[in-house]
């Protein structure tokens, strides 16, 4: 009877794969997205049930209850940890949280590869000699472990940079490409050696070097490039799963790995297009040298910036009939979205149209701004993507840029020497008045001067985004 039952397990893995595909499909619309998430949970429950069922079929004679209790207890503890992380960190630190979770997958994948290596016959992959892994499986296993290790340290560094305990400034030293290239070659050689010898120390070397290269790859990358990096690490966590799936000839892992891997790759591609840069140039950190030149060439020139008070801003805004808000990372840091929503409600009460323009790389992860605006109950219909709103700026009275800079920089369109030349930007300068809410008169994250600051129709309001918007609110009410 147990034999007959165990033949259902392939069917279960197919069901789980379908649920996972439905998960991604559900996210195509906000209305179906919650169902999609539910599909994901069901798929995961099915996937987790499979090994337990298999274990029960394996032997029904001896007492197995305690052996099942061990992983169940561990899962319980893990689940509680996961819950605590989400509860404690909360939405304010969304990009960090996602990076932290990526690192967990990476480390788990490394442990799994170690488990497979230390007892390959548990997983039914045994070569001609006992305790010897067949060549193809060994290749896939070491690649899976290497990507997992890169994902782990890379995500930890990304987390540190986003959280602020590692400097967001790019860390560079001379010859870093050569060092990275050298390590990559050593990893490749070590993988080949491992496949031939299958000695434990070589496997450890592969993992260790991958951990190091993950760290070295992400350290030189600045905060503004984080949307690309976070989605790239997302993609890596998928390829790791696929690698382990190939090692163990597990179709579900291959399918899920491919889904997650392509999803992350598409996101990184969208982010790269949003910055008009190639993934390779971001990983190699090509931006820095150009921007240093740009800063030095522009410093000392025009410094006529019009700074205005919250009262002036309130006056300008209340006389406008159309307002577009451009949020950026500064809004996320200050958590200003609720104050903005309040301001928008007052304006709408007076018959002013209020819209929000979102650049693909605004914030520190894909979709960062959308989540924050949704959090403060800003209607979905008022939120527009770059291409949908860019032609409307000419007919807009006031644009309020909240904690964004580079994504509005017109030199990306005009100045071919600018490091961000060619990057799609929001045409805010076409509006009658531009209000910049900024912490200080400084260049943006990329260190690039923004000519918009010196224009006649630009006003700067300096300070924390939330406080500034609250002051404007006060002035409008009073």
Active-site residues, by number, are 406
**How many residues sit close enough to other proteins to count as binding (CB under 8 A)?**
113
Return the closest-CA partner of residue 447 out of 297, 302, 335. 297
Residue 182 to residue 115: CA distance in whole angstroms: 28
Q: Choose the binding region for other proteins from 170-178, 210-218, 368-376, 410-418 (rule: CB under 8 A).
A: 368-376
Beta bridge partners of 433: 398
Per CB under 8 A, does 357 bind other proteins? Answer: no
Instruction: Provide the 10 A C-beta neighbour count for residue 115.
Output: 12
Distance separating alpha carbons of residues 154 and 376, to the nearest angstrom:
32
Angle at 323 between CA 319 and CA 324, to 5 degrees: 160
Nearer to other proteins, 141 or 316 (CB): 141
User: Taking contact as CB under 8 A, which single stretch among the options 167-175, 211-219, 230-238, 323-331 is the one that binds other proteins?
Assistant: 230-238
| Interface with other proteins (CB under 8 A), residue from 15, 24, 212, 473 | 24
| Residue 450 lies near other proteins (rule: CB under 8 A) | no
Report the nearest approach of other proteins to the CB of residue 475 (Å). 27
Residue from 16, 44, 40, 45 nearest 27 by CA? 40
Looking at residues 253 to 312 of the shown chain, list those that interact with other proteins (rule: CB under 8 A): 253-264, 266-267, 270
Closest C-alpha to 158, from 207, 212, 211, 214 = 214
User: Which one, 231 or 418, has the nearer CB to other proteins?
Assistant: 231
381 binds other proteins (CB under 8 A): yes
Cα 462 → chain centroid: 29
Give CA–CA dist 385/374, Å, rounded.
14
| Nearer Cβ to other proteins (15/475) | 15
Stretch that binds other proteins, among 208-216, 236-244, 430-438, 464-472 (CB under 8 A): 236-244
Nearest distance from residue 156's CB to other proteins, in Å? 13
Q: Mask: binding to other proteins, 65-104, rule CB under 8 A, as x and -?
A: --xx-xx--xx-xxxxxxx-xx----x--x--xx--xx-x
Piece of 107-115, 158-166, 203-211, 396-404 that binds other proteins (CB under 8 A): 107-115
Contact 376, 393 (CB under 8 A): no
Q: Is residue 208 within the footprint of other proteins (CB under 8 A)?
A: no
> Which residues pair with residue 402 across a beta bridge?
327, 437
Q: Measured between alpha carbons, how far is 236 from 476 in angstroms, rounded to an integer?
A: 49
According to CB under 8 A, which one of 2, 5, 92, 119 is a site residue for other proteins? 119
Q: Which is nearer to other proteins, 109 or 448 (CB)?
A: 109
Q: Which of 294, 324, 365, 461 binds other proteins (CB under 8 A)?
A: 365
Per CB under 8 A, the list member of 143, 191, 230, 461 interacting with other proteins is 230
Q: Write the binding mask 33 to 72 for other proteins: x where contact by CB under 8 A, - elsewhere.
A: xx-xx--xx-xx--xx-xxx-xx--xx----x--xx-xx-
Contacts of residue 299, defined as CB under 8 A and 6 or more positions apart, other chains included, come to 449
Gap between the Cα atoms of 369 and 98, Å rounded: 15
Q: Rounded to the nearest 5°, which phi and psi values hold at 398?
A: -130, 130
User: Is residue 25 close enough to count as binding other proteins by CB under 8 A?
Assistant: yes
């Amino acid at each position: 009877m147990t034999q007959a039952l165990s033949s259902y397990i392939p069917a279960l893995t197919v069901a789980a794969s379908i649920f996972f595909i439905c998960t991604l499909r559900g996210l195509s619309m906000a209305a179906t997205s919650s169902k999609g998430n539910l599909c994901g949970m069901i798929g995961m429950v099915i996937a987790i049930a499979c090994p337990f069922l298999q274990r029960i079929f394996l032997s029904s004679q001896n007492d197995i209850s305690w052996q099942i209790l061990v992983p169940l207890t561990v899962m319980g503890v893990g689940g509680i940890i996961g819950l605590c992380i989400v509860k404690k960190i909360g939405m304010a630190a969304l990009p960090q949280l996602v990076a932290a979770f990526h690192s967990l997958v990476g480390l788990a994948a490394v442990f799994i590869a170690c488990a497979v290596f230390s007892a390959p016959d548990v997983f039914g992959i045994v070569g001609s000699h006992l305790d010897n892994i067949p060549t193809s499986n060994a290749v896939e296993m070491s690649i899976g472990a290497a990507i997992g290790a890169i994902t782990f340290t890379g995500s930890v560094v990304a987390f540190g940079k986003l959280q602020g305990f590692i400097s967001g400034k790019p860390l560079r030293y001379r010859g870093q490409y050569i060092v990275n290239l050298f390590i990559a070659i050593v990893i490749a050689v070590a993988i080949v050696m491992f496949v031939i010898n299958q000695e434990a120390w070589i496997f450890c070397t592969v993992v260790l070097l991958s951990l190091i290269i993950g760290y070295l790859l992400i350290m030189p990358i600045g905060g503004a490039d984080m949307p690309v990096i976070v989605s790239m690490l997302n993609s890596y966590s998928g390829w790791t799963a696929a690698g382990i799936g190939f090692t163990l000839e597990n179709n579900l892992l291959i399918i899920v790995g491919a889904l997650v891997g392509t999803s992350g790759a598409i996101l990184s591609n969208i982010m790269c297009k949003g910055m008009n840069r190639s993934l390779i140039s971001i990983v190699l950190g090509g931006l820095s040298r150009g921007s240093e030149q740009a800063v030095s060439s522009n410093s000392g020139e025009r410094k006529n910036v019009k700074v205005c008070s919250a009262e002036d801003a309130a006056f300008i805004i209340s006389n406008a009939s159309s307002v577009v808000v451009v949020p950026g990372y500064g809004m996320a840091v200050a958590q200003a979205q609720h104050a903005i929503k309040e301001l928008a409600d007052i304006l709408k009460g007076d018959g002013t149209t209020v819209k929000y323009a979102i650049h693909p790389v605004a914030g520190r992860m894909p979709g960062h701004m959308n989540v924050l605006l949704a959090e403060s109950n800003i209607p979905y219909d008022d939120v527009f993507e770059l291409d949908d709103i860019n032609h409307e700026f000419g007919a807009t009275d006031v644009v309020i840029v909240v904690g964004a800079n580079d994504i509005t920089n017109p030199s990306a369109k005009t100045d071919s020497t600018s490091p961000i030349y060619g990057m799609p930007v929001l045409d805010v300068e076409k509006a009658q008045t531009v209000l910049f809410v900024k912490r200080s008169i400084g260049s943006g994250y990329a260190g690039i001067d923004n000519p918009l600051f010196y224009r006649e129709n630009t006003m700067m309001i300096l300070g924390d985004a939330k406080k500034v918007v609250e002051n404007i609110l006060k002035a409008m009410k009073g």
